[in-house]
Amino acid sequence: MKQILLVFIGGGTGSILRYLISKSLNNATVLPLGTLVVNVLGSLLIGFILGLGYRQQMLSANGMLLLATGFCGGFTTFSAFSYENHIFLKAGDFMSVGIYTISSLVLGIAATFAGLYASRFI
């Protein structure tokens, strides 16, 4: 139960921060700058957090749940996507990087369009 609460608190905090950043930056330009900033910052944060946890052993498993799974998961899912591609690249698995990246983009965009289309019937 403690782990679920940690993910919940981190996820809620990340989601609120994502909302505030996106709200303040997305209207500034034609490009959704807030979303871009959140995705890039989330990728930087998850790398830093996982680096502290796994390489430096400075974070406990609970700390990683709160920050990486909870906060970065709520802040953006792009951070997890970036880290997973890092793992593929580090292993030299370029085929998986290509397939995963293209599939994520194509399926993500297609799902967005499908959701928008389906919402017309409600």
pLDDT mean by block of 10 residues, the chain; 122 residues:
97 96 82 85 92 87 95 88 91 94 93 88 78
Residue 77 marked as a ligand binder: no
Residue 13 marked as a ligand binder: no
**Which of 64, 37, 35, 36 lies closest to 51 in space, CA to CA?**
64
pLDDT score of 62: 96
Burial level of 6, CB count in 10 A (0-12/13-18/19+)? Answer: buried
pLDDT score of 31: 67
pLDDT score of 30: 67
